[in-house]
Structure 1
Amino acid sequence: MVMTKEIECRAARSNDAKDMITVQFKAVQSISKENYPKQVLSAWSPKPNTERIKWWADYINNDNVRCYVATNKKSKVLGVAVYLIAEQCIKSLYVDPKHSRMGIGSRLLQRIERFADRKEADKLNIKASLNSISFYKNMGFQKIKEVKQILSNGSTMEATFMEKAIN
């Protein structure tokens, strides 16, 4: 088992894009079908391809976006987090399912919180997937309301809008 002290959280670079998509894909595809049907999971995170990798590489360099990766000693990407600065929004946070429940998600979230605090954000928000609500509650987020998340193919999935005050 990897201990979190052996995990480095750093700003993502363009060349991390393929590994970031792979982590997202693995994480989404491991979500219980009790939470979301297979067609939702497929629309949420399609199989990695060249077009998506290029899109992510460009996204990492967007001025309103701050992306982080958690890596092990071998620089393997184990977790991914994306923060939208102007919206004070956590866009995504994924951990490779083989490395879940090791504190990687918590470390990435703390990294976003520190960054947001430096940018003088007063709160963070997220549209949390059904399977992640308890994680965010444990990290101090409050449920605000049930919402729909629009997916890349135009379909929607159930989510919960959550907020956390930071200062």
Structure 2
Amino acid sequence: MDCQIRLATTRDAAAISHVVISALRESNAQDYPADIIARVEQGFSAQGISQLMMQRRVYVASINQRVVATASLDGDVVRSVFVDPQHQGAGIGRKLMDVIHSAALELGLDVLHVPSSITAEGFYAALGFRKVRDEFHGAERTIVMQRLLMQ
């Protein structure tokens, strides 16, 4: 499986939306109730993704020109890392995070932060992120993590 990673374009918005919503419904739903999943989904419509692209560096991973994962960099914050459930565990998320790490170094950043879901905490910990604190948005728990970058 040859995975290509590139900056996203607005033409990718619908495919990114599909990946995010699939991951929310299949993976994150194991750790969060349906009402929280439904609320989070609202921000990830194709139109919502297009708006995010104007504020962040959004990357996609594709296999055979099909978008299977996404991640973005918003200043020193990693956001919206999602891998299609059919491709989870294949190293695609790690490859995306390598690209994010390189972009952060190019920007001269010393640290990366990530507001992690419960679902992804172990993934980020395996990449060297450490928990800073928990935040709660209503009943939604987010684990704020950070990783110091080596120049």
What is the TM-score with the length of structure 2 in the denominator?
0.92
Assess, with a 3 A threshold, how the Cα gap between structure 1 residues 30 and 66 changes in structure 2: closer, same or farther. Answer: same
Note the residue ranges of structure 2 that are not aligned, 5 or more in a row. none
Within 5 Å, give how 1:1-167 maps onto structure 2: 3=1, 6-31=2-27, 33-46=29-42, 52-62=45-55, 65-73=56-64, 75-85=65-75, 88-148=76-136, 150=137, 157-166=140-149, 167=151
CA distance in 2 between counterparts of 1:66 and 1:143 reads 24
Task: Give the drift of 1:55.
Answer: 3.0
| Letter of the structure 1 residue corresponding to residue 63 of structure 2 | N
Residue 131 of structure 1 aligns to a residue whose secondary structure is coil
Task: Give the drift of 1:12.
Answer: 0.3
CA distance in 2 between counterparts of 1:116 and 1:163 reads 13
Aligned length: 150
| Letter of the structure 1 residue corresponding to residue 54 of structure 2 | N
What is the TM-score with the length of structure 1 in the denominator?
0.84
Assess, with a 3 A threshold, how the Cα gap between structure 1 residues 18 and 163 changes in structure 2: closer, same or farther. Answer: same
1:16-60 Cα shifts (integer Å, max 9, x gaps)? 000001100000001254511111111111497xxx322322321
Identity of aligned residues (%): 23
Task: Give the drift of 1:82.
Answer: 1.3
Q: 4+ residue runs of structure 1 moved beyond 6 angstroms?
A: none
Assess, with a 3 A threshold, how the Cα gap between structure 1 residues 8 and 118 changes in structure 2: closer, same or farther. Answer: same
Residue 140 of structure 1 aligns to a residue whose secondary structure is coil
CA distance in 1 between counterparts of 2:29 and 2:48 reads 28
1:113-165 Cα shifts (integer Å, max 9, x gaps)? 000100000010011000110000000100111112x4xxxx55101110001
Note the residue ranges of structure 1 that are not aligned, 5 or more in a row. none
Residue 42 of structure 1 aligns to a residue whose secondary structure is helix
CA distance in 2 between counterparts of 1:33 and 1:20 reads 18
1:73-111 Cα shifts (integer Å, max 9, x gaps)? 2x10000101102xx001110000011000010001110
CA distance in 2 between counterparts of 1:109 and 1:19 reads 19
CA distance in 2 between counterparts of 1:42 and 1:81 reads 20
